A and B are shown apart, each in its own frame.
Chain A
Amino acid sequence: MKKVLLAAIQVALLMGFSELMNRLAAWTHLPLPGSILGIFVLFLLLQLRIVKLEWIELGATWLLAELLLFFIPAAVGVMNYIPLLEQDGIRILAVVMLSTLIVMTSSGLLAGALSRRKERQPS
């Protein structure tokens, strides 16, 4: 029970922090969303030990474990585009599927080949 409460407080902390990063991104006119800026800033704070890992680790672990859940409402939002999908849906699906396969094949095979080569020639 104590652990759940602690995780909830840490999630709230991370929410506050990401809101702060949104403001910072808007204020500095960076072409980056607050969440990406937030990764960099939090990473730096952790590296410099300004933020201690145990302050946020429990909350962060929970957020990452339940990540799929947070995409559900956005996925339900596709229902607003049913007319578009009725008209071009099959062709769009074909593009997205084929292109995703191409990306997986090219990035996965290249990364695999490069890391195997590195293993064979230890520096």
Chain B
Amino acid sequence: MINQAVTYLTATLVIYYAAKWLYRKYPRVYLSPLLVTPAILVALLLLTHASYDHYNEGGVWLSKLLQPATVAFAVPLHKNLQTLKKHAGEIVASVLFGSLMAMLSSALLARVMHLNGELASSLVPRSVTTPIAMNVSQMIGGVPTITAVFVIMTGLLGAMMGPSVVKLLRIEGDIARGVLFGTSAHGTGTSKAFELNPLTGTISSISMILAALFTLVAAPVLLGMLG
């Protein structure tokens, strides 16, 4: 089934780069490649009655690059250490506050919307990077695979909404913008932040790491308190 894997991989690359070209010509939120590419692929798979497992024989080659790409965050971290040190206080304070709001608002909004307890717990860690979110979900009585879906939804929405929120709230400066993307939308938000400029991306990757570590420690305690 090597052929099939290569076909799906090629299709993903072609659609992605076409979507990227389209987005450069018409930069509209709903034309974001991160939305358009999966939407077209899902439609194609459903139309041809192909399963996700089949698709993923090719797709997994791209997912495999996610790990070294995450490790690669060490490079901008290393290059921008001086700036990060200078702004450590603001970054830490606002990431912790944002992460706290992420967990609280997810839990409370899920309750308001009458989603069941399992879904609510699966939603709580949705704003941090997938492996840690799944881990936290397990600890607090959620379903890790469903959490993974919510993490992806958060990433897509965050990367799409982020630039408009920045404009609307007049968030200025690389520090504040980086914190906003990394805290709210983990790696996906961070890749959007790198599109703005390298320093914003670096701040975003730091924020993403901090948010993940804080959520790992704080979510079980917080959920215990909410009862």
A residues neighboring B (CB under 8 Å): 11, 14-15, 17-19, 21-22, 31-36, 38-40, 42-43, 46-47, 53, 56-57, 59-61, 63-81, 84, 88, 91-112, 114-115, 118
Residues of B close to A92: CB separation below 8 A: 115, 119, 123, 150, 153
Point out the residue from A21, A67, A76, A106 that lies within 8 Å of B41, measured CB to CB. A76
Instruction: Give 23 CB contacts A-B under 8 Å.
Output: A39-B70, A42-B75, A43-B78, A56-B72, A59-B68, A59-B72, A71-B34, A72-B41, A73-B55, A73-B56, A74-B148, A78-B42, A79-B45, A93-B153, A95-B113, A100-B161, A103-B99, A106-B94, A107-B179, A108-B176, A110-B97, A111-B94, A115-B90
Is B155 within 8 A of A71, CB to CB? yes
Does the CB pair B97–A47 fall under 8 Å? Answer: no
Determine whether the beta carbon of A70 is less than 8 Å from that of B63.
yes
The answer to the question of B225 belonging to the interface, with a C-beta cut-off of 8 Å to chain A, is: no
Closest residue of A by beta carbon distance from B216: A31
Q: How far is the CA of A109 from the CA of B93 in the complex (A)?
A: 12
CB <8 Å contact, A35 and B109: no
B16 cross-chain contacts in A, Cβ below 8 A = 69, 72
Instruction: Return the contact of B97 from the options A43, A57, A106 (Cβ within 8 A).
Output: A106
In the complex, B212 has a CB within 8 A of chain A: yes
A74 to B38: give the CA distance in the assembly, Å. 9
- Within the assembled complex, what's the spacing in Å between the Cα atoms of A40 and B74? 7
B: number of interface residues (CB 8 Å): 104
Report how many A-B pairs have Cβ atoms within 8 Å: 290
Contacting pair A71 B105 (CB below 8 A): no
- Of B62, B146, B183, the contact of A69 (CB 8 Å cutoff): B62
Q: Could you tell me the dominant secondary structure of chain A's interface residues? A: helix
Complex CA–CA separation, A102 to B126 (angstroms): 14
| B1: interface (CB < 8 Å) | no
- Evaluate contact between B162 and A81: CB separation under 8 angstroms: no
A56 to B68, CA, bound (A): 11
Indicate if B137 sits at the interface (CB-CB under 8 A): no
A31→B221 CA distance, assembly (Å): 16
Residue of B nearest to A91 (CB): B113
The yes or no answer to B173 lying at the interface (CB within 8 A) is: yes
| B18 beta carbon closer than 8 Å to chain A | no
Question: CA–CA, A76 to B155, complex, Å?
Answer: 13
Instruction: Give chain A residues whose Cβ lies under 8 Å from the Cβ of B154.
Output: 96, 100
- Residues on A with C-beta less than 8 A from B90 are 111, 114-115, 118
Among A46, A73, A108, contact of B169 (Cβ-Cβ < 8 Å): A108
| Nearest CB of chain B from residue A64's CB, rounded to whole Å | 6
Q: How far is the CA of A68 from the CA of B192 in the complex (A)?
A: 8
Contact B98 A103 (CB under 8 A): yes
Contact of A75 among B38, B79, B132 (CB under 8 A): B38
Is B149's CB within 8 Å of the partner chain A?
yes
On chain A, the residues within 8 Å of B127 by CB distance are 99-100, 103
A107 adjacent to B161 (CB under 8 Å): no
Does B24 make an interface contact (CB < 8 A)? no
Given that A39-B77, A43-B77, A115-B90 are known contacts, is A94 also in contact with B113, CB under 8 Å in the complex? yes
User: Given A17-B68, A100-B158 in contact, is the A71-B152 Cβ separation under 8 Å?
Assistant: yes
